[in-house]
Amino acid sequence: MCTGACSKFIAIPLYIMSAVSIICNIMLFFPGFETKYAADDREGNERITEEVKYMAGLIGGGIMVLIPAIHIHLTSTKNCCANRCGMFLSIGFAAVGVAGAVYSLSVAGLGLANGPTCLWMNAENPIAQWGTPFLNRNESYLSNKDQWDWCKEPENVVEFNVGLFSTLLVAACVELALCAIQMVNGLFGCICGTCGKE
């Protein structure tokens, strides 16, 4: 496979993964598919999980991957960036994509580890309060589903956060791998050409 065709093969999944990252990050602002928690959070009450506000899916896995994906896709088209210079520039763009994917991966991992912000109570804390109940605990809530019942509101917020942060994590891993492959592909394209004239 020539380097230009490989760029096209890399760019299309990057478009999909960046769209997935953006959608997941936006959805995380609306736990339980309700807008009232985002509105309450703007008024100074902590209702949205802290890691969601870092917007790693929107900025890191989204925009910082989407822009390189566009350039990488252009290196596969004729009479545009399908030349040695375009392939050289794709290395830099892919490096930006790697940085964005690493940011998204780190925040998604942190979001999964810390758990969601919710109205919670348990046997040790019988008075319901807003906070992050799984933060700084010896046992991970991910391996103990009985703890998920601690969160009373928003409804099913633990499943909501785990599902979306896991999706962000997988998307960031795929983006990271594809951008790293493009860096190698760009190097070969810079040295050997895009074989677009063949």
Q: What is the mean pLDDT of each run of 10 residues along the chain (198 residues)?
A: 71 94 95 86 81 93 92 74 73 92 96 92 86 87 89 91 95 94 81 59
User: Has residue 79 been placed in a domain?
Assistant: yes
Number of folded domains in the chain?
1
Distance CA(96)–CA(172), nearest Å, equals 13
Kindly report the three-state secondary structure assignment for every residue of 80-101.
CCCCHHHHHHHHHHHHHHHHHH
CB within 8 Å of 182: residues ≥ 6 apart: 7, 10, 68, 72, 90, 91, 94, 97
Q: Is residue 120 part of a domain?
A: no
179 within 8 A of 97, measured Cβ to Cβ: yes
Extended strands (E) in 62-184 = 118-120, 129-131, 151-153
Is residue 156 in some structural domain?
A: no
What's the pLDDT score for residue 168? 96
- Residue ranges making up the domain that contains 39: 3-44+51-115+165-192
Residue 175 lies in a domain: yes
Is the residue at 135 inside a domain?
A: no
* Residue 157 maps to a domain: no
Please check whether residue 95 lies inside any domain of the structure: yes
- 146 part of a folded domain: no
pLDDT on residue 198: 45
